[in-house]
């Protein structure tokens, strides 16, 4: 399931915040049995999109988190936001509403109750920003 693949990428991103030199196979170890090859490919592509566009994604989150300093955002919230923004921006086969919903599920599972509204607010603002750009 793609949800499992996203969760593995979430854990990978969380670990990267504390150890930038993770072994290349670390993501593979997180993708346990029961994950299809398509889901493994999805997880690798999501990870690559985040790493390739990391600065752009971080700037997007920082600009939308108006009253928060980017470096002070909870690590778990940052991971959910990275995944949500990356999927909305770079995964054409993932509907934006699904990207938001999946990021919300990760936030609900791994972060605080207050994080849900924070993550949802930023992703909703990004969705509106993308829709506004599309309609121009």
What is the CATH classification number for the domain harbouring 40? Answer: 1.10.940.10
Angle between helices 75-90 and 96-110 (to 10 degrees): 170
Using the predicted structure, report yes or no on whether residue 63 has a pLDDT greater than 70.
Answer: yes
- pLDDT of 25 reads 85
pLDDT level of residue 136 (50, 70, 90 thresholds): low
Percent of the chain scoring above 90 in pLDDT: 74
pLDDT level of residue 131 (50, 70, 90 thresholds): confident
- pLDDT of 68 reads 87
- pLDDT of 107 reads 95
Work out the widest C-alpha separation in the chain, in whole angstroms. Answer: 45
Per DSSP (E only), the strands in the chain are: none
Work out how many domains the chain is built from and give that number: 1
> Are the CB atoms for 3 and 102 separated by under 8 Å?
yes
Question: Which element (helix H / strand E) includes 56?
Answer: helix 54-64
Dist CA 78 CA 70 (whole Å): 9
Give the domain extent around 9.
2-134
3 state DSSP class of 129: helix
Using the predicted structure, report yes or no on whether residue 34 has a pLDDT greater than 80.
Answer: no
Mean pLDDT of the region 33-50: 91
């Amino acid at each position: 399931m793609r949800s499992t693949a996203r969760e593995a990428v979430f854990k990978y991103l969380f670990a990267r915040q504390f150890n930038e030199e993770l072994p290349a196979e670390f993501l593979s170890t997180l993708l346990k049995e029961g994950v299809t090859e398509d889901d493994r490919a999805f997880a690798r592509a999501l990870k690559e999109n985040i790493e390739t566009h990391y600065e752009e994604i971080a700037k997007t989150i920082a600009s939308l988190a108006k009253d928060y300093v980017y470096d002070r955002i909870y690590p778990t919230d940052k991971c959910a936001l990275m995944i949500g923004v990356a999927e909305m921006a770079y995964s054409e086969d993932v509907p934006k509403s699904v990207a938001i919903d999946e990021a919300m599920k990760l936030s609900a599972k791994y972060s605080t109750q207050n994080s849900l509204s924070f993550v949802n607010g930023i992703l909703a603002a990004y969705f509106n920003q993308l829709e506004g750009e599309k309609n121009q």
